[in-house]
Amino acid sequence: MKRFAALYDRLDGTTATNAKVAALVDYFSQAPAEDAAWAVSFLTGRRLKRLVNTRELREWTAEASGLGLWLIEESYEHVGDLAETMHLLLPPADSDDLSPGLAELVEQSIKPLRQLDDDARKQAIFRLWRQLGGTERFLLNKLLTGGFRVGVSKRLVTRALAEVAGVDSALMAHRLMGRWTPTARFYRQLLDSESDSDFEQSTPYPFYLASPLDEGPDALGNAADWQAEWKWDGIRAQIIRRGGQTWIWSRGEELMEGRFPEIEAAAEALPDGCVLDGEIMAWQNDRPLPFAVLQKRIGRKKPGPTTLKKAPLAFLAYDCLEWDGKDIREKPLQDRREALAEALAAAPGLLESGPVVFDHWDALPDLQAESRGRGVEGLMLKRLSSSYQVGRKRGDWWKWKVEPYTFDGVLIYAQPGHGRRSNLFTDYTFAVHDGEQLVPVAKAYSGLSQKEIDRLDRWIRNHTLERFGPVRSVEPTHVFELAFEGIAASPRHKSGIALRFPRIHRWREDLSIADADSLETLKALLEPGK
């Protein structure tokens, strides 16, 4: 644990990417394999199942520190992070000489907590709090509360591991995909330059992500070198068909077992050794259903017949990454499209997201303008000669989204953000006019500069009308332009509408609240078929 805490301090003590990678490389090349495996797991964002509830942790912190529970709550509100609050309030550790390794701590002390009864669990945690000091105790609290963020991306971890293993970053990214458990054996396999065939059959490929296109497409050169596709607003997913089995992975690297039975059934017809990339959409009569329909299926682990009927899905395939058991990601897009066509011929239950035909860049703006009517987000532009790359690499895949909708709303509520923004008011609620009233329509917390956030925070503190827990109502004064991607009727909301992806475009200091939009204007956007 000392070694892992030292790594954490090094990562936390610099904002420079190279220094972070160097710290990771040092750690991964020196740490025992069983500890390093857990470090990979935590640093790439995996969490332990919640072992202790936070109410208990707060009460125990009060008891261990001799402070009233209300002081723990006040401190938590100020610090914004429970693990850190506990760490700052607990009395110093006895002595941290006998610190267990990371794997030992997780496997011998933390995971068994789940099997203990309340009293024994409390005693065990008190013992750990006395045993671990400094950063080690802070990290222990982080593991207990579930969250773990240290300002390194998965990409940096991948880069460092690739360097230690002496393999390409893309290969390491592939090895880190899919299902694995943090064991010494897994870690050794990860670093072994020869071991690829040993990885689980279910392992997906890292997704290739498109970059936003900020100018017109004609800057991309010769139109004949490019293929256009509709940009679907669904769940990006990979279908894997190997050894007579099917797996569906989401882009968030979640295995979607059993969630989409109709797609799994359609994929059974694919030949072995085939991996497709595409989008899961709510779909009926050859066209997309609103995203809200798809939402009914997200998080539903075993959908029943009614749900399947009410929210039918389809898989729209647009790439083939493995064919005939061979990784074909290096082949140009046009070749992969041929493999895709063959695969889909075998599995007619899966749909193809085919190319959108155009012969000149001039034709594209009109096509793009059709997006809303077709229920898509815009166009994708892919270079015909491009390989299937790893992550967000600029140059060959672009997304050209339609302009978002916008409206002007009035700030009426604010509450503190989370984590590093916990002592600033950064989560805002905006309202529009509804007759004499202002009715809330959107919550948003991104889009302002740090300077604006600071200024608004000060203003909020000085113009609070009422407090409801952490939420403050403020004098309706400031108008903001908000952007959003879609709108749907919603009986659950007071306004009767729900906006998709609302975010702040800019602070309209030139407008007064009378200039803000009305609910009527927003409702007018609720067209049928949206």
Binding test (CB under 8 A) with another protein, winner from 21, 25, 64, 71:
71
Closer residue to another protein, CB minimum distance, 14 or 387: 14
| Contact string (CB under 8 A) for another protein, positions 1-40, x = contact | -----------xxxxx------------------------
Binding segment for another protein (CB under 8 A), chosen from 74-82, 152-160, 367-375, 481-489, is 74-82
**What residues from 389 to 448 belong to the interface with another protein (CB under 8 A)?**
419-424
Rounded to a whole number of angstroms, the minimum distance from the CB of residue 79 to another protein is 6
Distance CA 78, CA 113 (A): 29
Rounded to a whole number of angstroms, the minimum distance from the CB of residue 29 to another protein is 20
Closer residue to another protein, CB minimum distance, 14 or 169: 14
Closer residue to another protein, CB minimum distance, 9 or 352: 9
Closer residue to another protein, CB minimum distance, 300 or 421: 421
Does 74 bind another protein (CB under 8 A)? Our answer is yes
Rounded to a whole number of angstroms, the minimum distance from the CB of residue 475 to another protein is 16
Binding test (CB under 8 A) with another protein, winner from 79, 124, 209, 511:
79
Closer residue to another protein, CB minimum distance, 213 or 460: 460
Closer residue to another protein, CB minimum distance, 58 or 337: 58
Nearest to 378 by CA among 361, 360, 400, 347: 400
Binding segment for another protein (CB under 8 A), chosen from 62-70, 109-117, 375-383, 403-411, is 62-70
Nearest to 316 by CA among 357, 288, 290, 297: 288
Closer residue to another protein, CB minimum distance, 68 or 529: 68
Q: Tokens standing for 217? A: 């497409």
Burial call 110-119: b when 16+ CB within 10 Å, e when fewer: beebeeeeee
Rounded to a whole number of angstroms, the minimum distance from the CB of residue 78 to another protein is 6
Q: How far is CA 339 from CA 250, 328, 355, in A?
A: 22, 9, 15
Nearest to 447 by CA among 505, 402, 493: 505
Rounded to a whole number of angstroms, the minimum distance from the CB of residue 75 to another protein is 5
Binding test (CB under 8 A) with another protein, winner from 458, 467, 489, 501:
458
# chain residues binding another protein, by CB under 8 A: 32
Tell me phi and psi for residue 147, to 5 degrees.
Answer: -80, 145
Q: How far is CA 254 from CA 202, 203, 236, 298, in A?
A: 12, 11, 11, 12
Rounded to a whole number of angstroms, the minimum distance from the CB of residue 74 to another protein is 5
- DSSP category for residue 357: P
Does 67 bind another protein (CB under 8 A)? Our answer is yes
Closer residue to another protein, CB minimum distance, 80 or 312: 80
Closer residue to another protein, CB minimum distance, 75 or 145: 75
Pair type for strands 313-323 and 351-352: parallel
Does 81 bind another protein (CB under 8 A)? Our answer is yes
Closer residue to another protein, CB minimum distance, 115 or 462: 462
Binding segment for another protein (CB under 8 A), chosen from 73-81, 383-391, 468-476, 513-521, is 73-81
Rg (CA), the chain: 26
Distance CA 140, CA 138 (A): 5
Does 63 bind another protein (CB under 8 A)? Our answer is no
Given 20, 122, 142, 231, which residue is catalytic? 231
Binding test (CB under 8 A) with another protein, winner from 34, 58, 60, 75:
75
Distance CA 77, CA 102 (A): 30
Binding test (CB under 8 A) with another protein, winner from 268, 324, 338, 454:
454
Binding test (CB under 8 A) with another protein, winner from 112, 151, 212, 373:
151
Binding test (CB under 8 A) with another protein, winner from 46, 47, 78, 114:
78
The strand pairing partners of 275, in sequence order, are 240, 322
310 catalytically annotated = no
Angle CA(52)–CA(58)–CA(59) in degrees, nearest 5? 95
- CB atoms inside a 10 Å sphere around CB 367: 17
Does 355 bind another protein (CB under 8 A)? Our answer is no
Rounded to a whole number of angstroms, the minimum distance from the CB of residue 421 to another protein is 7
Q: Tell me, letter by letter, the H, E, C secondary structure of 379-445.
A: EEEEECCCCCCCEECCCCEEEEECCCEEEEEEEEEEEECCHHHCCCEEEEEEEEEECCEEEEEEEEC
Pair type for strands 287-288 and 326-327: unpaired
- DSSP category for residue 64: H
**What residues from 86 to 105 belong to the interface with another protein (CB under 8 A)?**
88-89
**CA distance from start to end of the chain:** 53
Binding test (CB under 8 A) with another protein, winner from 29, 65, 169, 389:
65
Burial call 211-226: b when 16+ CB within 10 Å, e when fewer: eebeeebeebeebeeb
Does 271 bind another protein (CB under 8 A)? Our answer is no
Nearest to 481 by CA among 417, 413, 430, 422: 430
Could you list the active site residues? 231
Under the rule (CB under 8 A), what is the footprint of another protein? Answer: 12-16, 65, 67-68, 70-71, 74-75, 78-81, 84-85, 88-89, 151, 419-424, 454, 457-458, 461-462
